[in-house]
Structure formats: structure tokens, C-alpha cells
Amino acid sequence: MGPSSPSRRGDGDKMSTTAPRRLDLNLHCGGSAGRNAWEDPSFTGANRLPPHSRRVRSMVAPGGYTRGVCLDSGGDGSDGRSEVDGGIEVTGGWTFRLFPDPHCIPISCVAADGESAEEDCEEGSQSFRSTAVPSCWTMTEASDPPRYTNVQMPFDTLYPHVPRDNPTGVYRLEFAPLAGGWRATGNGRRRAVLHFAGVEGCFFVYLNGQFVGAGKDSRLPSEFEVTDLLRYERDGTAVPAAETPAPAAAPNVLAVVVVKWSDASFLEQQDHWRGMAGIHRSVYLYSTPGEAFLEDVFARASVDVSGLEEGTAWDDLTPRHRGRLEITARIGRDQGTRVAGRNVYYNEEIECERDGGATYRTRFRLRCRADLPGAEAFEFDPHSSHGGAVRDVHLRGNLVSFSVDLPSKVFAWSDERPVLYCLECELVRIRAGFPPEVVDVEAVTVGFRTVEVRDRELLVNGRPVTIRGVNRHDHSPTGGKCVLPSDVRADLELMKRFNFNAVRTAHYPGDACLYEAADEIGLYVVDECNVECHGHYDLICREPSYAAAILDRTTRTVVRDQNHPCVIGWSLGNEAGFGPSQGMQAGWIRGYDGSRFVQYEGANHRSWGQGRHDYERDDSARLSDIVCPMYPSINELAEWADEIAPRIGEGRPLIMCEYAHAMGNSSGSLSDYWRVIREKRGLQGGFIWDWMDQGLRQVASKDGREVVWHKYGGDYGDIPNDANFNINGMVSPERGPHPAMFEFRRIAQPVGIDLRHSAGGNGQTHDFTLLLTNEMHFLDLAGLVEGSVVLRVGGYVSARFGFELEEGRRFGPQSTVEVRLPELNAFVVDSGGPGLWSAAEVHLDVDVRGRDAECPLPTPRIEAHAQFCLDGHLSPDRCRCTVPAYLDEAVKPAGDPGQSYPHRSEGEDGALEMSTDGHVLRMTSDGSLSLSSRSGVKSAKKGEYVLGMRPNLFRAGTDNDGVKQLGDQFDDESKPLGRWLSLGLDDVTLEDCEVSFPDRASVVTTAAMCGWPGRTRHGGIPLARRLYEKLGDGPATKVPLGTWRQTFTMHPNGSLSVRVSMDIDGALRDLPRIGIEMSVPGDLGCLRCFADGSGERDEVWGCPTGENYADRRFAAHSGVFEFEADSADEYVVPQAQGNRMNLRWLMLTESRQPCPTSDGVEDTSSSPACIPTPGELIDRTVKGATGLFVVPSPLQIGDGDGTALSGLPQFSVSRLTETDVFWARHVHELDTSGDTVYVRLDAAQRGLGTGSCGPQTLERYRVHGGRAYDIEFLIKPLG
């Protein structure tokens, strides 16, 4: 339906007293065959202007040939507009009223008279109130709250029909009559355009009581010409004295009716909050010349990739690439302008005459946006050949098309060096007797780059690039789908900070500000069309009635974003089936823009259904230039690269459109994925799912403080819902990075680091050499990189040395350079040889960073880290099967403990008491221990430490173990959490206990471990309720799990040796963990440990939590760390968290202790004589402390054929039990006010995997029965 359709204009559109009392939205755009307009897929909109790529935000900037204003406002009526040329006066801001369905809206709501909008309000009904625009009414209207579903629709009607109860909102805005310059100037007539950047729902626009138009796509702009519908100021003509002055013009009244659900809802079945209805992006009113204006400019800027150098120096200010521009400009006109000319053009070059005999031409100027001495400006006119530089000129009515081979070289655009140019296009009016006159100007931002797919590689500027990407939804914890431009930019800057180089706009186009920021920051974008039909996967793609809407969304996406260099590929949509509509999309895009690739995940599925990927489908390349599966396993990737792709002659690369589902405590095996990506040809990365947890912020008052928590599906009473399945981001709703972010940053760091060592003279000489690899694709980093190495002995920093690359040495992309460390080599030799190093673990931390350098071009952020254990180099003979001597001596005295036997007695309550050297060990019949002084204190007071020790085979469950909010996952064989509950692992007891005394210093307890399924109730957790339904009301039945043997040995100084052996039943497979849990007093919540923790500290976000697991520890470093007992609040949904690998020692104290190194923070002395010995450091660590000191021994795990050593224990310390965490649905429900701290030591714990949506934990990171697990440690009271 064209914008000038007479059926949409005329006297019949005006409101009158004879109009029906209720608004008929179908009056001007009724659906075919009597359908409602919002239930007719063939109706995509009314009177919308053609799409274009002009930047509306710049069109409303002061000055220039366009003018305009942003009509946004705050909910209090505050002015959210900028001061602009031609600004308008708004009265009171936007108002809003919600109706239960589209049929009950009083016609007065869209009337030209503001007062009449309230006249039809029924008694008790809602009246108009102030509201913010942009916003989503679901965030403020209690009667229509947010709803979340994944695959299922939030209602039960079949497309294209939607529920009769269909919330409909009416927005109104009054603004003063416009100045006359909006309608005409000395340069001629002007046109006014109303621009909606994004409206969720089917919407209808009225201006001054007249119908303007309608639209449906929630994520793309809709524009309407409103020149003749606006009210303007009087022209100021003098009024004769005899006449009464004319009254002031009435204000303009803009009304927008938004219907929440429509047939378009079935094209927008994305996995996010559904029906976040409202005007969620900005609204603009702008004006352009009327007779002729630049409707659109499409500039394809490319570089010649032949003969390019191996790399460009990061500070090189010389353009080095030959550039080419292919330009198509479209000249528009308003609805009142007529063009004279024949309607059969063929190959003629025709300049059509417009009103007044004027013709129009275009001319162009290109300049670099950066102020560089070597950057030239170019001017070219398609009407002049410029010595052959301008080629292929075609003038066809309102179209101008030509190409330009630039006479001088340009800077290429890439993610590493995003150099931008400004292409200024002028529209010049030519009239007889008048000089040429510029009437319109458009400034197009372009970046010169070339994208190709060939020989199983994605090439940017001729080089294969690795996609380190992430999927991003629009989300705000307070605004829902309404996201401020500043927050969009903050997202992209945070991605760049954590070494992402690409973003997929899942699963719809982002706001225009996203692409502008990505151009400037340097991020590749895969731009996805707003098409997802997940719940009707095989159906809508084959519906002819939806074909026009699908193509409309495709063309509007491509045209709007066509000039952004960041966009390297177009995505047809997501999970929308494989039908003729997808073929139509791909064909149109390739015909319009062949400079980018097209991708679609569904191209590698079979024709019907969404089953396993079919990589051998012979027509998949018809839809997709990239093989882009979602959630393939690592083995699947390797099989494709090694066997399938070579066998079928696949020429396309594989880039995962989704992988590593980041739901809750997740992203296990990220490093395993990237190992195979780097090893196998044709694998070029992928996009993690996804960026942000889509929680909605709430604030609770707790213990006199405010606690921020977040709602998700089901928290608003929304049925159906998919619970927390949209809480799956790498960052929290508040943009706080989760631990997986630091893991990815390490994996994707721009400089790879390796260490080479050689020794001679029986260990008397050492040569340590760093091998640095430039992982970038385009830039030579010579002169930019410097760094330091830190030597850690026993976890503490002992020395630090700086290094830099040799001056003049190249460090090209994908190349490796050697950096010798003479200061470190001398330090090691001067320290006295292997004697010092054999006493404790020695680690070398390597930090690489970029220099502070001034450069007018964008400079890459360089930060890289690595750690190397030097034990094998410095003390190859050191025994790693026992506790290091310096730690053993710090906990227990030398000699046989039997030389000073403890006194053993029985207390009045039957408890066993053992005492020696002023310390008392007391064990009750249930196995609980207390360790105290001889003061006789029998409660958990100062000086006594209760050690409630028990088997711990349960963890609170990560979302990958099973989504506890989804009861249907109880029987899902791929999710073990339901099986763990069925075994009663959340309630394990020791049965048939027997106590023996092998000697006077030791006590041995043996027992059977049993689980009690269903005895511990978690009533608010749907997955647990499914278990209770299965068990019924009968008594709990215990499940045998294995045997328990616990040995305590008391030493003369009061310290204890503890050994726990757990022999797990061989029938038990894929368990959460094998470990023990100790309870200690709550005031011992300050911790210091030597273990694996965070190897990074971010300047913005500080030090991360340092949590790491068997399959997510690539970024972990060994060292001494301080933290407090965990409160289980890292993730939106409480779940297992806080684990750390490889515990060497742990100190629990009542308050934070001073650092034992010489400067109070860390010793960076370069003199070996100043290094404290490991024993001295431990003495300083425990000096003056009150608490407990724990030192574990290396693990012993029996494999059935004997005993095999298996590293060091994992551990976590929390103020909550695992069942406390499992019970809670939100963080504000966690009660950390108890007087107990729980210390967990694990012989083994299951990895994380990504099983919430994707491959489960790899076999090598799983825990099975059928073997004996031994945990042994020393524990000593301090103070």
C-alpha cells in the first residue's frame, strides 16, 4: 500500500460527531477477507515510507539542510529532546492509557482535541497518565506484566489469530504548531516525516484526528510523511484593523495505538521476554526538502586485497590500500511533486524535470574522519569522468549509480583498526538562469574493507579472521526491551574490553546506535533479520500469506544497515525452518548486496524438523555462505573438519552461530572448544550464547540493607513460562562480568604466551625465554608491547622483572618472537641453585600489556597473562606425593605423635574427649567434633572450633546439571540433577557407625553412607516436587551409596591429621562430587589460601571471584588469595558456585590478616638475599591470627587396580549449605545470617559443561563410583 494511496487520505479520515463511539482500527487498513488488521499476515503496514540508511539522529542535529526534533520525554513530562534547529514546544510530555483489547478504545482517544480524550472514560476505568517514551508499558502496568517463554507461545491460539483479550495501549503527545520553516523556506517546499525507531506490537498512528499509517515490525523503524497533517503557526500577515485577530492555531495532537499481540507475533518467537509492548525506541519528527531530497545513499567501500603487506604497524599513519567505492543514490520527492519524463527508459541516461523545470544532480566528497597528515580528501561527480576514476555511471530517473577507483590509497577498516571515512553526498538543483544550488546533504560513514568466503575460509581484507563473538539481545534490567543508546555502547565497549571481536544481533536488528558504535569501536556484526518461528518451525516458512512480511523485514534490515562497515554478514533469522521464504530472503540479499556473506543456521537441517545437523545437505549453500550450526559438540566439530568437509568438498568455513550456553554457572570446556578451533582448518570461531542475563531488577529490604535481585519467567504469574531459561548471559543484568567472562578473555587474548627453558652445569645455569605470538590478524605490534614477569615462591610474590621487545624488531600478525629474560636467569642462579626451589612450588607469572601511546588512529588494547609452574625446571626431583616439609612443620611438630600420647576420656554426655598440650578434641556420637583449649568450654565460643564433618556428595545444581525451576527436566537423561535427588544425595547420613582406637592418638570411625530421597523437602522447587509426586506419602527409603572410613590423629600441639576414605558404589555414575563438609563458627569468615584463583585484575571491575572448575580454569593462576566466605549471590538463580581448584593451604580467621611480605602487599625485590623462605612466610601468615589452618595432602583415588595419585583437593567456603542454596529461587531468599561457615573439600567434582542447552560435561570431567576416594589433611587451631 503506497504512501500516497487515496484510500488513506481525504475527508473521510476526519473525526466527526457522527463517528462511532469506539475506534475502528480496521477502518483505514482492514485485513483481507474481513480479518482484523492485526490478524492478517499480508498486511505489513499502511503508508510507511520506503526504508533508507540515512542516520535520523544526525538529521535532527542543529543546522544543515534537514531539521527535526526528538520527541522522547520522561515519565514526569520532562523534556528528553535535544536543542535543535526548528525545535518545537511540547506540552506536558507523553500520556498513556491501557485498554483490555483493541475493540474498546473510545474514538476520542485519537481525537484532535486533547480534552475530549477523557470524555468517554467509563466509571472506574483507567485515565490517561504521564509516561516515558521510549518505554515498555509491561514494566509499569500491573495489569499487563512481563511474560517469558522460549519455544512455546505465551497464548494458545494458532496463527494468525491472537487472543481476544489483547492489551492495547494508547499514547498521546501534544506539541505546539510548527514554525513556518517546517513547511516551506526560500529554497522551496519541505516535507515532514514522523519516525518511529521501534514499536513492539502492531501500531496505528493518528495526527490531529486523522489516520497517518500503521506498522508491525517491532525492531525496525517505520516512517510516515505528515506534511499535510501537521498544524503550523500563522504566517504573520497583518490583520486589517476592522477585522478581529484570528485565534491562535490549536496544538498538534499525536496519538499512537499499540496492539500487543498480532500475526507478527508469530514471526517474533525469540527466546526473550515476550510482548514487551510499547514505543521502546525513540520517536523523531524531521523535515527535508520536498521537491527533491536524498532518499538513500548506498556506498560499498572495498579495498584491493592483492599484494597487501604481511602486517601494518599499529602506529603507521600512511594509507596503504587501494580503495574502491560503488555508490547508488536514490533521489526522493514528496507526495505533491510530479516528475515529467517518459516511462520507458531502457539504457537511456535521463534527468527528469520536476516542478518548475528543475533538474537535480549529485556530487560527492570523501574524507577520513581522523585528522591525519597523509589522509587525502577526494571529490568526484558522476557527471564527470575524472580521468577515468569514475566508472560505470548510470543515471536512471531518481537513481544514480557509479563506481570510483580512488586515485590515492586509503586506510582499511577492521576490528583491530576501525578507521572511518565520511562520504558527503550533495544534492544540487539546476535551474535555468540560476547558479547551481545545494538543497540537501547526507554524510555517510564508510569503512574500506572487503569480505570474502573461499576455500573454507572467511576472509576480511584478504586474511582469515577468527570470530570471537557473542550473541546479544536488547535488555535493560529496568527498561525491559527499552535500552538506552548509552547502555548499548556500554555493552559493546565491555565486549571489546574482554576480547570479543564480533556480535550477532540475536535475533533481530539492533537500534541504529549499535551499528554506529560497532563501526567506531571495531566489532564485526552479523545482522540478523527479525524472523523467528520456533514454535511453528516447519509451518510459517511454507505459508504464502507470511512471505511478504518475511521479505519486508529482510529488505528493511539490509537497506537500513547497508553502509556500516561493521556488518560483515546478513542472517536470514533464527529457527524459522527451511522453506521457500528463506530462499526468497537469500536471493534478494545476494541480488542487492553481494559484498557480504549470508548465513542461516537452518540451512544445515533437514527439510522438516529441527533435528541433528545435516552437514551433507547438498542445497544448504543456497541459503548460507557459512556453515553455522548451533551447539555442536567438540567431537562434532573435529569430525566436520577432519572427515566431512574434505570428503564433500566443502568450500565454506564453519562458524558456530551459538555455542557455550552461558546459563548460570556455565561455560565449561570453553578452552577445549578453542583448542580444536585453533587446530582444525575451516573452524573459525563462533558466537557464545549469550551476552546478558535477562533478569528484571527488584529491590528487597533485608537486615536493614537493600538487596538487589532479579525476576524471570513465572515471577509475574505468567503462565505458561520457561522460568529462568533467559538467565543465560556472560554478564549479569547489571552488566557485571561473570567468571566465565574472564575465562574467555584469557582464551581470546591478543598475545599468546609460552615459555622455553634450558639448563646446564647441573642446574647451575638457566635460560628462560618467552615465546610471544601476535594473535591479531592485521597489526604489527612492534613497539607497542611490553611486560613483566613475577616469580612466586609458595604462592607469594618474590621478585618482579620487566621486559620489552627489541627495538626495530617486527612483531607481525600471527608471528612469534622470542624474548630473553636475563635478569630472571641471573636471579635464579644467584639464589643458590635448586635448594631454595625444592622447598616449595615456584610459579612464573607473565603479564603483557600495551604501552601508553598517543596515536590519532584507534590503538588496540593489549593485555595478556600466563602462568608457568617452574617446579619441573628448577627442582625436578622434588616429591609431589606428600605435603611440602615447610607446611608439614608449620602444622604439626616433628617426631612420632605417639611420643606424647593424648589423654583419652569419656565425657558426662558420653562424648569421647582427647586432650594434649592444652588442647581438647571432643567427638559426639553423631561424629561432630570440637577442637578447643583446656578451658572446659563446651560451646562454639571463642577458642573452640566445632568441626561438624560429614560426607558431601551433593551440589546445589548448576543450570547445566538441570534447571531446577523446570519440573519436566526431572526425567531428562541428559540432566543429572533429578537423578541425584532420586539417590538422596541432598540428604546423606552415616549409618551403622563403629568406632575403634588403633592407638592412643587416633580414632577411627567406619560407617555406611546412605541417601534419603525426598526426606529433605524443597517445596518451592518444581524439579524436586516431581520427585515427591513419584515417591508419594510413604516413609523415606534409604539408598546405599558406599562406605565411609574416617581417621583422626591428634598431635601434641593440638593439631589433627584427618583422613577420610569413601568407597563409592560402582553403580553410581556421573555424580556431582565426592567430598566432605566441615562446619566451623561463623566468625571464621575471613579466608586466605594458596590455591588456584583469578590471574587477572580488571581496572573497571576489580578482581573477579576467582572461581574455577575442572573444565573452566584456563584463566586460573596459582597464588595466595584473600576473600570472604561465599554468599552464593554471583548468579541470578542461586546455584553451585565458588569452587577453587588445587588447594595447598587454607587459613580461616576472624579478621583479615596483614600480608606477610616485606612491603605489606607483596615483595618485588630483585635481590635473592631478601627473599623470605617459604617457612618464614607461613610463620608470618599465621602469626597473631585466631582461627584454623588447614593443609591438605595430595589426593589418592583408587582405580580398582591400585592407588593412583590425582592432584590436590578442590574446595569452597560458604555461609550456606548446598541444600540452602538449592532451596532458593532468588538471591534475596538466601539467609547468610547464621553462625556457621561451611568448608568443603572435594576429591572430585563434576565439571560445568554447557548442558542447559548444548553438550553436557565431557566424560573426562565427570565423577563416577566404583573406586575409593581418599582425602587427607592437617588442621591446626591458631591463637
Beta strand 683-688 with 467-471 is parallel
Beta strand 1145-1149 with 1086-1094 is antiparallel
Interhelix angle for 512-521 vs 485-497, to 10°? 30
- According to DSSP H, which parts of 884-944 are helical? 885-891
In Å, what is the CA distance from 792 to each residue of 871, 1090, 1120?
11, 11, 9
Q: How many CB atoms lie within 10 A of CB 975?
A: 23
Interhelix angle for 544-561 vs 580-592, to 10°? 30
Under DSSP, the state recorded for 644 is I
Q: Look at residues 441, 440, 442, 444 and name the one whose alpha carbon lies nearest to residue 421.
A: 444
Question: In the structure grid, which three cell numbers stand for residue 1179, read together?
Answer: 610463620
How far apart CA 275 and CA 1252 sit, in angstroms, is 25
Q: How many CB atoms lie within 10 A of CB 343?
A: 5
Query: Do 595 and 451 contact (CB within 8 A), yes or no?
Result: yes
How far apart CA 573 and CA 518 sit, in angstroms, is 20
Active site residue 1099: no
Per annotation, catalytic residue among 658, 841, 944, 1218: 658
How far apart CA 579 and CA 291 sit, in angstroms, is 43
Q: Look at residues 647, 650, 585 and name the one whose alpha carbon lies nearest to residue 621.
A: 650
In the numeric block, the cell 535488555 is attached to 475
Is the CA virtual torsion 532, 534, 539, 542 positive or negative?
positive
Which residues have C-beta within 8 Å of that of residue 1064, sequence separation ≥ 6? 1041, 1042, 1071, 1074, 1264, 1265, 1266, 1267, 1268, 1269
What single string gives the DSSP state of each residue in 1185-1222? --EEEEEEPPPEEE-SSSEEE----EEEEESS-HHHHH
Q: Coil, strand or helix: which one is 650?
A: coil
How far apart CA 349 and CA 396 sit, in angstroms, is 6
Interhelix angle for 512-521 vs 544-561, to 10°? 40
What single string gives the DSSP state of each residue in 847-871? EEEE-----SS-----EEEEEEE-H
What single string gives the DSSP state of each residue in 770-811? EEEEE--SSEE-TTTEEEEEEEEETTEEEEEEEEEPPTT---
Per annotation, catalytic residue among 200, 295, 543, 575: 575
In Å, what is the CA distance from 884 to each residue of 153, 696, 833, 868?
61, 50, 18, 19
Instruction: Classify each residue of 668-706 as buried b or exposed e, where b means 16 or more C-beta atoms within 10 Å of its C-beta.
Output: bbbbbbbeebeebebbbbbbbbbbbbbbbeeeeebeeee
How far apart CA 480 and CA 137 sit, in angstroms, is 10
Which residue type, as a one-letter code, is found at position 91? T
Active site residue 351: no
How far apart CA 788 and CA 771 sit, in angstroms, is 14
Cis amide bond preceding 373, omega within 30: no
How far apart CA 49 and CA 719 sit, in angstroms, is 38
- According to DSSP H, which parts of 1032-1130 are helical? none
Question: In the structure grid, which three cell numbers stand for residue 870, read together?
Answer: 617452574
Q: Coil, strand or helix: which one is 559?
A: helix
Which residues have C-beta within 8 Å of that of residue 826, sequence separation ≥ 6? none
The set of catalytic residues is 575, 658
